[in-house]
Structure 1
Amino acid sequence: MSRLVVVTGGTRGIGAAVAARFKAAGDRVLAPGRAECDITDEAAVAAYFADAGPVDVLVNNAGISTSAPTARTTLADWQTQLDVNATGAFLCTRAVLPGMRERGSGRIVTVASTAGRVGYRYTSGYTASKHAAVGLMRAVAAEVAGTGVTANAVCPAFVRTDMTARSVARISETTKLDEAGAEAALAAASPLGRLLEPEEVAFAVAFFAAAEAGAINGQTLVLDGGGIQS
């Protein structure tokens, strides 16, 4: 049976791969970018989901990142990352929860990060926001336990996306490494030894969203080759 799936930040990178996977499975997919729905705007989120109709699967994928030592992190950068990565996930989750609970079914999957499980240097805003997104998921999971609705999170290491390309460029600018060397340095940060592909993250999202995954709730699935074991 076809489901209505909403993938925020679905126009490129991980979001585009997630959207493509659900479409290939025969689901009806909405994949809004910022131009279609500013997930940090309460009224815009409410209006978007009211127009979308009953959502069966919500994928909180939209995200941003900046990097700097904590002492040089601006309040604006801190707040923007919290707004998009945590508050955006909250607003979208809140918008779909009543309908899911009323129908007794639904899947909420948040694309977080290994930075939602551990801390990394120079990423205080990003790490804090991803920890917040994981915490939100766990709180929602506790609320919906036994209702037919589930909430889980996927926590990948670095993925081959535009966001990671910007990180590679920043590393290259501040070190003597060329971009290939900078990418290799990022890849070496996890036991996997390479960047993840967006389709690998999409597989994990689809797993949590499957009808057969109804007993899996409140969990984080780490994609890093075994560095973070839970």
Structure 2
Amino acid sequence: MSQDAKPLAGLHALVTGGGHGIGAAIAAELAGLGADLTLTGRNRTALRATAEALGREHGTKARVQEFDLASSDAIAARLAEAAGRLGPVAILVNNAGVAPAAALETTDLAHWRGTFDVNLFAAVLCCKAVLPDMRSMAFGRIVNIASTAGLIAYAGIPAYVASKHALIGFTRALALDLAKTQITVNAVCPGYADTEMAKAAIANLTRAGRTEGEARALLTRRNPQGQLVAPQEVARAVGWLCLPGSAAMTGQAIAVAGGEVM
């Protein structure tokens, strides 16, 4: 395949939460574009399976870095280890996240801190860790996976909604700070996607007495297209933002949600 067909060849991309769902789809998209991959997460089995599949299908280097992003003290050291194996991180995709459902009256501060630790502060610390190398390379692509919940509100998940709004605010602020460099910072905001998280939500609804069709309809009713978003569609948006030719795209929050947010 030509260099033009592999525009990310020779670049190291790190994807948090890269073992399954949207993260695995993003890893596959970037590998298809030629990038070498580090996949981070807590499930070593899933990470290894995804990394091995990327190597077989794309011939890319794919390494696994197992750690918990809630352990903020470990983030800089783990990213330095990843850079030591595959070179400086040129592409960072902050995909890992948690989505606890709880009304405000039932939560405590630990619930809010736990949500923000993963959904916001881990992304902040990952960005801080990779920026020196990106500045030295005069190139960098940072993509934060937010949510339509970072653009509009949903009932019953106030900590999640607040954390994703904060992540988009951070994205925009960092993009402005880096506007004079060759480093771009964007957010991609999926709607309800066809992932294990959605399947778990459907299962919970069926246990509560809904049929599977009714449960799925509850998740898709806000999507004008009437369907769950495919992880690969989210991944393609991320891949495009990471291309060298997408340098003018920065500070954006792009919804991939079938028209739910316009």
TM range (shorter): over 0.9
Aligned partner letter, 1:2: G
Deviation by residue 1:132-174 (Cα, 9 ceiling, x = unmatched): 1111111110110020000000001001111222222333344
Residue of structure 2 aligned with 1:10, choices 13, 18, 28: 18
Residue of structure 1 aligned with 2:213, choices 161, 180, 203: 180
CA RMSD of aligned residues (A): 1.4
Deviation by residue 1:176-206 (Cα, 9 ceiling, x = unmatched): 3123311121011221210011111100110
- Secondary structure of the corresponding residue to residue 215 of structure 1: coil
Deviation by residue 1:97-152 (Cα, 9 ceiling, x = unmatched): 12112221100001110001111000101101111111111111011002000000
Deviation by residue 1:70-109 (Cα, 9 ceiling, x = unmatched): 2223433322111111111111111111211222110000
Which residue of structure 2 lines up, in the alignment, with residue 228 of structure 1?
A: 261
Which residue of structure 1 lines up, in the alignment, with residue 48 of structure 2?
A: none
- Secondary structure of the corresponding residue to residue 32 of structure 1: strand
TM-score scaled to structure 1, two decimals? 0.94
Aligned length: 228
**1:39 corresponds to 2:72:** no
Distance 2:95 2:71 in 1: 16
Distance 1:97 1:219, change over 3 A: same
Residue of structure 2 aligned with 1:143, choices 174, 177, 202: 177
Q: Which runs of 5+ in 1 are unaligned?
A: none
Is 1:39–1:92's contact at 8 Å kept on the other side of the alignment? no
Bigger-Rg structure (1/2): 2
Q: Which runs of 5+ in 2 are unaligned?
A: 1-8, 44-65
Matches within 5 A, 1:46-195: 46-53=76-83, 54-174=88-208, 176-195=209-228
Is 2:194–2:229's contact at 8 Å kept on the other side of the alignment? yes
Aligned partner letter, 1:128: A
- Percent identity, aligned pairs only? 42
Is 1:39–1:91's contact at 8 Å kept on the other side of the alignment? no
Distance 1:125 1:205 in 2: 25
User: More deviation in 141-150 or 35-44?
Assistant: 35-44
TM-score scaled to structure 2, two decimals? 0.83
Aligned partner letter, 1:40: A
Tell me how far 1:218 sits from its aligned partner. Answer: 0.2
Aligned partner letter, 2:11: R
Is 1:40–1:91's contact at 8 Å kept on the other side of the alignment? no
Is 1:100–1:149's contact at 8 Å kept on the other side of the alignment? yes
Aligned partner letter, 2:250: N
User: More deviation in 11-20 or 93-102?
Assistant: 93-102
Aligned partner letter, 1:106: G
